[in-house]
Structure formats: structure tokens, C-alpha cells
């Protein structure tokens, strides 16, 4: 099964008094790349989430968003440092007395001084929180993978169709190649006939020249390798292992053999067929960039 590297999934549940939402999205990338957005209070879960996702996919630029909101009780509480507040109050009193100014400090004013009021996160069971987040993460990943699978099926069908097109064009080239040699032989014969007029033409020489030409323009090895690469392409596409890099390599090889055929060709029909193959290869290259 082919998977695309493009996907999106979202999960949401209320567990143990917390509304947990996880979003996962990805685009194509040569390797696995991970980034996340979450409150610093839950950053201890980041590495766990990364490992969980990495165990499910091989490649792609993945971004995860985690939101946790308390629905039953506050996740944080406010603590007051009364001794520090008293010190501020006493200091203000000293300033008031020293400058002969009224001391109009009140509780609200003192509470605004640094350190008087602090936000403290309530203690909670980290393992329970992770299990809850993992449950929601798996819901998001199920949707995420389903989308990657659906996109992958489209990529698979498109690439397979284009491989069939290339294969048919290669068959046409194989049919056209011998005709080129025959055409060259006839052209050479007619040329010598015009030059030599009534003199006898050396048939052996024509056969030799035609054989040399046939050797120069022979594309048997290239077409055989193209068939082999197409066969390997299909096998890799149908395999279960990560296939992106292998397909990158095979695409280069398809292009290399096609270029060689083009360089050997001095026939317009075959040149046009080479252009068609290269066009299909380029479209395949664009598609496999998004295959995991």
C-alpha cells in the first residue's frame, strides 16, 4: 500500500476532567521532521508524542498541536507570599516616613509587586495525563493515516498508468528501430546507384555499412533496462516497506536510459517518442516526491 506524505488528522476527548485536542498534519519531506505547538506545562510530553508518531510513519514534515483545557478544576492555583508582601509594606512605610508622605499602599497595590503572587501548576499524575493524550493522539493519527492512504492510492494509480504509457512507447521504439536500419540501407543503396550509374554496386559493402549503422543506433540494451526498471518500479510500489528513496533512484535510471536512446536517435519519430517518455517520467517524478 502506498501512502502519501500529505495528511491531516484531529482527535478530541474529555478525559479525567480535561478537554484534550490533538491535531497532526504533514507535508512531503526527504526525511522525518517533527515540530510541535503546546503549552510549556505539557512540554514533557513532546518527546513521547514524537516517538509515538515516528513509530507509525517513516517520512514527512510533521507538525503536532496539543491543547489541554481543564473542564472540572483549574490546572493552576495562585499562591501568595505573605512574608514578601509584608516586607514590601514595611519598605513602603519606611519610604513614607522618611519622605513625609502619606502611605497609601493597599493590598491590590502590594499584590502587583514581583513575587507576591505566583501561579503554581497543580500536581497531577504525569502517567495518567500521557495515557490520555496518547489515546487522543491515536484518534488523530487514525484520521491522519486514512487521509495519507487515500492520497497514496491516487498517487499509486497515476504512477502505474504512466508506467504503462512508457512501456507502450518503448515497444513502439523497438518496432521502429529495425525500420530505421532498413531505411538507411535503402537510402545508401539509392545514393550509390545515383553515383555509380550503370556500374555494379557492391552489395557486401552496403551490408557492412548498414551493419555499422545498426550497431551505432541499436537501443536493445536501453529498452531492456527500461523494461527492467519499470518492473522494479511496480514491485517497489506494491511493497510494504518505505519506497520513496528507491523510487527516486529508479526515476533517475529511467531518465538516463531514455536520454541514451535519444542521443542515438537521428530519426524524428523516435525522437518524438523519447520526448513523450521524458514527459511521463517528469510527471512521475513530481508524484513520487509525495510518496512515503
Residues 225 and 110 in one domain: no
Residues 161 and 262 in one domain: yes
Structural domain boundaries enclosing 133: 7-73+124-149
Q: Does 38 map to a domain?
A: yes
Last residue in a domain, options 111, 133, 149:
149
β-strands 60-70, 117-121: how paired?
unpaired
Residues 165 and 48 in one domain: no
CATH number at residue 47: 3.30.230
User: Residues near 111 by Cβ (< 8 Å), separated by ≥ 6?
Assistant: 80, 85, 117
Helix 203-217 to helix 126-196 angle (10° resolution) is 160
Residues 37 and 107 in one domain: no
Residues 174 and 276 in one domain: yes
Q: Does 100 map to a domain?
A: yes
Q: Does 2 map to a domain?
A: no
Q: Does 110 map to a domain?
A: yes
- Burial bucket for residue 174 (CB in 10 Å: 0-12, 13-18, 19+): middle
Residues 162 and 230 in one domain: yes
Residues 106 and 193 in one domain: no
Residues 11 and 142 in one domain: yes
Residues 68 and 178 in one domain: no
Helices of type H across the chain? 46-54, 82-99, 107-111, 126-196, 203-217, 220-238, 244-264, 268-288
CA distances from 8 to 130, 175, 270 (A): 22, 47, 44
Cell, residue 188: 545508401
* DSSP reduced 3-state for 8: strand
Q: How many domains, the chain?
A: 3
User: Residues near 251 by Cβ (< 8 Å), separated by ≥ 6?
Assistant: 281, 284, 285, 288
Separation of alpha carbons 43 and 190, rounded Å: 83
Q: Does 1 map to a domain?
A: no
Q: Does 169 map to a domain?
A: yes
Other beta carbons within 10 angstroms of residue 17's beta carbon come to 13
Partner residues linked to 54 by β-bridges = none
Predicted confidence pLDDT, tens digits, the chain (292 residues): 788 999 999 999 999 888 999 999 999 988 899 999 998 889 999 999 999 999 999 889 999 999 998 886 555 678 889 999 899 888 988 888 888 888 888 888 888 888 888 876 655 678 999 999 999 999 999 999 999 999 999 999 999 999 999 999 999 988 876 666 555 555 655 555 555 555 565 666 655 655 555 555 567 778 889 999 999 999 998 887 767 778 888 999 999 999 988 887 777 888 899 999 999 999 999 998 888 7
Residues 130 and 194 in one domain: no
* DSSP reduced 3-state for 61: strand
Q: Structure pTM?
A: 0.64
Q: Does 24 map to a domain?
A: yes
Separation of alpha carbons 5 and 155, rounded Å: 11
Q: Does 163 map to a domain?
A: yes
Residues 186 and 272 in one domain: yes
Residues 45 and 89 in one domain: no
Amino acid at each position: 500500500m502506498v501512502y502519501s506524505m500529505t495528511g491531516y488528522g484531529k482527535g478530541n476527548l474529555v478525559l479525567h476532567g480535561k478537554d484534550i485536542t490533538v491535531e497532526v498534519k504533514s507535508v512531503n519531506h526527504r526525511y522525518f521532521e517533527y515540530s510541535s505547538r503546546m503549552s510549556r506545562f505539557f512540554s514533557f510530553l513532546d518527546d513521547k508524542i514524537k516517538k509515538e508518531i515516528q513509530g507509525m510513519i517513516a517520512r514527512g514534515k510533521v507538525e503536532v498541536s496539543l491543547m489541554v483545557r481543564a473542564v472540572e478544576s483549574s490546572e493552576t492555583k495562585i499562591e501568595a507570599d505573605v512574608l514578601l508582601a509584608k516586607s514590601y509594606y514595611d519598605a513602603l512605610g519606611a519610604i513614607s516616613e522618611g519622605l513625609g508622605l502619606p502611605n497609601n499602599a493597599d493590598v491590590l497595590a502590594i499584590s502587583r509587586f514581583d513575587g507576591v503572587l505566583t501561579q503554581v501548576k497543580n500536581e497531577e499524575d504525569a502517567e495518567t495525563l500521557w495515557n490520555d493524550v496518547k489515546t487522543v493522539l491515536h484518534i488523530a493519527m487514525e484520521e491522519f493515516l486514512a487521509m495519507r492512504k487515500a492520497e497514496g492510492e491516487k498517487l499509486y494509480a497515476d504512477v502505474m498508468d504512466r508506467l504503462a504509457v512508457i512501456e507502450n512507447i518503448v515497444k513502439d521504439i523497438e518496432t521502429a528501430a529495425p525500420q530505421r536500419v532498413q531505411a538507411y540501407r535503402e537510402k545508401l543503396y539509392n545514393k550509390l546507384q545515383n553515383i555509380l550509374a550503370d556500374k555494379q554496386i557492391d552489395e557486401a559493402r552496403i551490408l557492412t555499412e548498414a551493419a555499422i549503422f545498426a550497431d551505432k543506433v541499436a537501443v536493445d540494451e536501453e529498452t531492456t533496462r527500461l523494461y527492467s526498471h519499470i518492473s522494479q518500479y511496480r514491485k517497489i510500489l506494491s511493497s510494504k516497506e518505505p519506497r520513496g528513496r528507491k523510487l527516486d533512484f529508479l526515476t533517475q535510471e529511467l531518465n538516463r536510459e531514455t536520454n541514451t536512446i535519444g542521443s542515438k536517435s537521428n530519426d524524428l519519430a523516435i525522437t518524438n517518442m523519447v520526448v513523450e517518455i521524458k514527459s511521463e517520467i517528469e510527471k512521475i517524478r513530481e508524484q513520487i516526491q509525495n510518496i512515503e
